[in-house]
Amino acid sequence: MSESVRRSRSAPKGIRITDVAASAGVSPITVSRVFNAPQTVAPETLLRVRQAVQELGYVPNRLAGGLSSAKSRLIAAIVPTVAHSLFSESVQVFSDTMSRAGYQVLLGLSGYSDEDEDTLLDAVLSRRPEGVLLTGVAHTATLRARLLRIGIPIVETWDMTEHPIDMLVGFSHYAIGVAVAQHFIARDMKRPALVSASDNRALARRRGFVDTLDMDVVEVIVSPPSSVALGREGLQRILTQAPAVDAIFCSSDLLALGVVSQARKLGIAIPDRLAVCGFGDLEFAADTTPALTTVRVDGKRIGATAARCLIERLGGAPGKNLIDVSFELVVRETT
């Protein structure tokens, strides 16, 4: 290790970028590019600089860099949960794609509360992110007005509207409800029911479902997050109101699994006596007995596309305003 690096270890300010450059045999500006634009650095140089960073224990002062250049290299991502693959795969791909472009993702979990989203964004915006990823398009009026004025790229995901704040990568939850209702109609279901969470996106699927069916629909609305236990309870409540129900649309695969599980416990044959459809196509959906009919959304594509939109906008290109990734009704044994 060079003499300059040995001296810097005992210096009050610790390891500096010039120390890393000397150890790696590159210029300080190359070290800077490794942190801020790694895609512009040759792979062997990238590896050498990162090894020097690890050996020396160098920590870049992102805040100081942000104050001097107004660039934090930070992206804020707000999602309801990463407890299951519906959002976790999307977040992982988004984070990986942003990282390859030299950005770091600050992840915040908002649950399913608009007020919590407001509070969380207050905290992350104070760190001066260069872009923001949001889940859904339903925000409080105050937050929406603030985001419209903030002056940084924003991409909303997992929903659809004709009036996004900035960019939007998602699909129509209402159209999903319509598609499931049409599927039930095609199979001559006469007494449909619904078990839905009460968050905005689930309720949009509920509206599409109910609007399409020209018949009474027994409904059970539960508080998110969804669970298998809530699905079991939902079926019991439906049977109390409508013992002859013959089809149930659930706003998540977890609720649907609970319905199927409770139906089997009660000796209700699926799909002969009761058809069940979920949403999400989670890992277990194809492996349940019987296999679960559900709605598949490509979360990885949402994450990658959202990242690409932000990267293009941050690079000065005019990103697309609205991208519809659509969805797929996956028909399996439960219908």
Predicted TM-score of the model (pTM) = 0.78
> Residue 35's pLDDT is what?
80
Is residue 332 in some structural domain?
no
> Residue 230's pLDDT is what?
98
First CA to last CA distance, the chain: 68
> Residue 83's pLDDT is what?
76
Considering only CA atoms, which of 96, 90, 63 is closest in space to residue 78? Answer: 90
**Number of domains composing the chain:** 3
> Residue 38's pLDDT is what?
83
For residue 105, give the 3-state DSSP assignment.
Answer: strand
Is residue 314 in some structural domain?
yes
Q: Do 203 and 176 contact (CB within 8 A), yes or no?
A: no
CA atoms within 13 A on the CB side of 116: 11
The backbone torsions φ and ψ at residue 180, rounded to the nearest 5 degrees and listed phi first, read -65, -40
Does the bond joining 225 to the residue before it have cis omega, within 30 degrees of 0?
A: yes
Are 33 and 147 contained in the same domain? no
For residue 138, give the 3-state DSSP assignment.
Answer: coil
Are 227 and 303 contained in the same domain? no
> Residue 44's pLDDT is what?
92
Are 113 and 150 contained in the same domain? yes
> Residue 112's pLDDT is what?
78
> Residue 137's pLDDT is what?
92
From residue 325, how far is each of 50, 159, 161, 330 by CA, in Å?
37, 10, 13, 16
User: At 31, which CATH number?
Assistant: 1.10.260.40
The backbone torsions φ and ψ at residue 245, rounded to the nearest 5 degrees and listed phi first, read -55, 140
Residues 6+ apart with CB under 8 A from 300: 89, 90, 93
User: Per the structure block, which two tokens stand in for 73?
Assistant: 């290299």
Consecutive sets of 10 residues in the chain, 335 residues long: mean pLDDT of each? 39 69 92 84 91 79 50 88 83 95 90 75 79 91 82 94 95 98 97 96 97 94 94 98 97 97 97 97 94 97 96 86 96 98
> Residue 111's pLDDT is what?
80
Are 22 and 86 contained in the same domain? no
Is residue 333 in some structural domain?
no
Are 28 and 76 contained in the same domain? no
Provide the domain limits for residue 81: 72-171+299-325
Strand ranges (E), 84-242: 104-109, 131-135, 154-157, 167-170, 192-197, 218-222
Is residue 275 in some structural domain?
yes
Are 155 and 198 contained in the same domain? no
For residue 5, give the 3-state DSSP assignment.
Answer: helix
Is residue 67 in some structural domain?
no
Are 51 and 86 contained in the same domain? no
Are 186 and 292 contained in the same domain? yes
User: At 192, which CATH number?
Assistant: 3.40.50.2300
Considering only CA atoms, which of 172, 107, 161 is closest in space to residue 139? Answer: 161
Are 165 and 312 contained in the same domain? yes
Are 195 and 284 contained in the same domain? yes
The per-residue pLDDT for range 172-227, each reduced to its tens digit, is 999 999 999 999 999 999 999 999 999 999 999 999 999 999 889 999 999 988 99
